[in-house]
Amino acid sequence: MQRRTTRFVIGVFAAFVASGCFGGRPRAPNDAATVEVENRAFADMTVYVVDVGGARRRLGTATGLTTTTFTIPQPAVGNGREILFVVDPIGGARASYTNRLYVTPGDEVRLVIPP
């Protein structure tokens, strides 16, 4: 099997999704799925993962102008489970949402927050 990377670009008012695949090491069913958040904005962002059942889990804070990696909680990943990410600017009024996607153990998701 190949490792799958999914990239997201979160806009101020809308989410845009692009995905791609690349070769990598084989993944095991118990490998943790991760999300790398590249925050190109000045504002710090709180990052959440929401599973299809509506459970919202806080992953952490993506500091402005940095790249941060979070582990996606195991209950949110797996075959047949849809998730989405929510990025909420600290002190801001509008959160941005990604489209739904499937993430399996060992996947790496890349989220890019533009300036």
Residue pair 24/2 in contact (Cβ under 8 Å)? The answer is: yes
Residue 19 pLDDT more than 80?
no
Looking at every residue in the chain, the average pLDDT score rounds to 81
Give the residue with greater pLDDT, 43 vs 17.
Answer: 43
Residue pair 49/76 in contact (Cβ under 8 Å)? The answer is: yes
Residue 30 pLDDT more than 80?
no
Indicate the pTM of the whole model: 0.77
d(CA 65, CA 14): 20
Residue pair 52/75 in contact (Cβ under 8 Å)? The answer is: no
